[in-house]
A and B are shown apart, each in its own frame.
Chain A
Amino acid sequence: MILLDLAQIEFRVISGRMAQGVMLMILGALTIFALEFSKRRPEKVRVRKIPAVEAVDEAIGRATEMGRPVFFTPGMHGIGDLNTLAALSILGDVARKTARYGIPIIVANRYYTVYMAAEGIVKQAYAAEGKADMYQPEMVRFIASEQFAFASGILGIFQRERPAANFFLGYFYAESLELAEAGYNIGAIQIAGTTATVQMPFFVAACDYALIGEELYAAAAYITRDPKIIGVLFAHDIGRYIALVMLLIGIIAICSGSRFILDLLAK
């Protein structure tokens, strides 16, 4: 029998990450506080509106009127990426709406694991709306894992099936503008969101509504209209104020020749 000598166990804070850890704990605690507060006092929660989320109903309504499908892609990253998780959260709500209005949804995936999650989400959304019989296996598609094969597959879907509303949510690379421009050319109303800073200008230029950076995560909460979850936006805002105050302190400290903030963050 092997006995572990407790004296041998050594805990070591990894150098240069202590300040990060403290910040993470502060922001994490703040988020839990905001979520609990909004759960107990939902009437007190006032959050900013996100125009792109407000436009989801408009986009799906337009697709319903035109009798054309809704297109959704959760981006280029795998299931382990927060962008993808946020996109899949939004997919659940979008799929429920398409099921409610009786229009098809096409979900294009690049990763097998994301494909499986998306398939389960769409299937459940149709079942939750009492329209399980309307669900078709072709609605959720694995396109290709190679970047531009994936992009050209989606461009083909646009040309053949001509969706009336396109959702590009998740992490994207160079294909972002190809998708957005091809969607514009078929006259679809387009809602995009990504945290990829390089791709944001493309989406802003070519889409009707864009979720910039953190708004993608905020949208995943906001679209539920559930005050218990929407409270997290309150935490986002307080987090920003904390970051802003730290930036101001840092600017003042650096301008006055002090390295206090830099040394603190390097611990």
Chain B
Amino acid sequence: MGFKSLLLDYKRSIPIILAFVFGIIYVFEWYIDIRVGTFSTSSYLETTMLDYFNAMGAMSIGIGAINVFRIHYRNVSRRRGPWQFSLIILIMIPFMAIISTLGGRYALDPRGAVVPKWIYDSTAVVWNYLYWCVSSVASSMMFALLGFFIVSAGYRAFRARNIDAAILLITGFLVLMGNAPINSALFPFFEPIRAWIMDYINTSAMRGVVLCTAIGSIAYGVRVIFAYERRPTLAGGE
């Protein structure tokens, strides 16, 4: 696509131009601060512009909520799959939204300036229960599941089927022996081996990955800013 046709196709050209202008501004903002009196471009871009971005993100919450409602409404209306869970979602989302607005940590009027204080007091109890005793506990449970998944993934990864897996197995065993408190109490000689593996082998390998990632990020950023990347991410694709 030529430059002229790109300008004529405004649906594609406007995002490309915006990406270029703001990409360049944000790159240079990191290195050069332009000051006029007390005004600083760096602090303006790092605070005010990001506030705009967050506000735009917040406005799209409604669209996400519509999607959730649409999917679960269809599940319920067609009695598809375990539709009862969808029904719970359809009831609980608006219920939690109302409760959160009136009571709890994020209430709009916790001091009762407009909404009567007794509404805050009574809904705060419900919010606290639903947030701390249901949502938070469920999240902790999901996080705890990770322990079991690590064991099953580790079991598969550490089977010594080839030389690479055997090295992984030996390294994993040494780190495990050095990390577990009881092992380091019973076999203290594992601790320096663990420390050496983590501080030298592991750290240097991770730094290599981070270094290459940084180079890849720069190349990808250049592709986006200079419109070499014209796939759907930016402007509707070719």
Q: Which residues of A contact B (CB under 8 A)?
A: 4, 8-14, 17-18, 20-21, 24, 27-28, 31-32, 35, 78, 80, 82, 85-86, 88-89, 91-93, 109, 111-113, 115-117, 119-121, 124-125, 128, 137-138, 140-142, 145-149, 151-152, 160, 174-175, 177-178, 180-181, 184, 195, 197, 200, 202, 204-206, 212-218, 220-221, 224, 228-229, 232, 235-236, 239-240, 243
Contact = CB atoms under 8 A, between A and B. Distances in A.
Contacts of A10: 34-36
Q: Which 6 A-B pairs have the closest CB atoms?
A: A214-B216, A148-B142, A112-B64, A205-B157, A239-B215, A217-B216
A32 B63 contact: no
Given A11-B34, A27-B218, A137-B67, A229 B82 contact: no
In this complex, the interface size class of chain B, counting residues with CB under 8 Å from chain A, is 35 or more
A14 B33 contact: yes
Interface of B: 27, 30-37, 42, 53, 56-57, 60-61, 63-65, 67-68, 70-71, 74, 81-82, 135, 138-139, 142-143, 145-146, 149-150, 152-154, 156-157, 206, 209-213, 215-224, 226, 228-229, 231-233, 236-237
Contacts of A214: 209, 212-213, 215-217
A58 B224 CA distance: 29
A229 B228 contact: yes
Contacts of A119: 67
Contact of B220 (A4, A82, A112): A82
A213 B223 contact: no
A28 B24 CA distance: 12
29 contacts: A8-B36, A9-B36, A18-B31, A21-B30, A24-B218, A31-B223, A82-B221, A92-B231, A92-B237, A112-B61, A120-B236, A124-B237, A128-B237, A138-B71, A140-B67, A141-B67, A149-B139, A178-B145, A180-B153, A195-B216, A206-B153, A206-B157, A213-B210, A213-B216, A215-B216, A217-B220, A232-B219, A239-B218, A240-B215
A115 B67 contact: yes
A108 B220 CA distance: 24
Contact of B70 (A92, A116, A121, A137): A137
A128 to B, nearest CB: 7
A148 B143 contact: yes
B63 A115 contact: yes
Nearest to B150: A177
B118 to A, nearest CB: 30
Contacts of B154: 205
A217 B153 contact: no
Contact of A138 (B30, B74, B145, B209): B74
Contacts of A147: 139
A124 B236 CA distance: 7
A212 B213 CA distance: 9
Given A92-B231, A124-B237, A85 B35 contact: no
Nearest to A180: B153
Nearest to A146: B139
Contacts of A12: 32-35
A153 B54 CA distance: 25
A216 B142 contact: no
Contacts of B42: 14
Contacts of B217: 82, 195, 214, 217
